[in-house]
Amino acid sequence: STVRRFRPIVLTALTAVLAMIPLSRSVFFGPMAVAIMGGLIVATALTLLFLPALYAAWFRVKEEHATATHNER
C-alpha cells in the first residue's frame, strides 16, 4: 500500500508544509507553524518508512507473499 499511496501522501504533506511557510514569519503564529511543519514531516516519514517496516517485521511478511498479493490486484 505504501508504494501505491506514496505520491498522494507526500504531495498532501508537502502542500501543508509549504502553506505554513508564510505563517512561520509571524511573531504570534510563527512557533505554531514551525511545530506543525515539523510534525507533518516527521509523521509523513514515519508513515511511509517506519510503519510498513514494522508491519512486515511484526507479521513476518515475506517478499514472495507481498509480490503475489500485489500482482493479484
Give the three cell numbers for residue 20.
505554513
Distance CA(5)–CA(28), nearest Å, equals 35
pLDDT band for position 68 (50/70/90)? low
Distance CA(73)–CA(15), nearest Å, equals 30
Q: In the predicted model, what is the mean pLDDT of residues 2-27?
A: 92
Q: Is residue 33 scored above 80 in pLDDT? A: yes
**Per-residue pLDDT at 13:** 95
**Per-residue pLDDT at 52:** 85
Q: Is residue 73 scored above 70 in pLDDT? A: no
DSSP state string for 15-60:
HHHHHHHHHHT-TTTHHHHHHHHHHHHHHHHIIIIIHHHHHHHHTT
CA angle 42, 20, 49 (to 5 degrees): 20
pTM recorded for the entire structure: 0.71
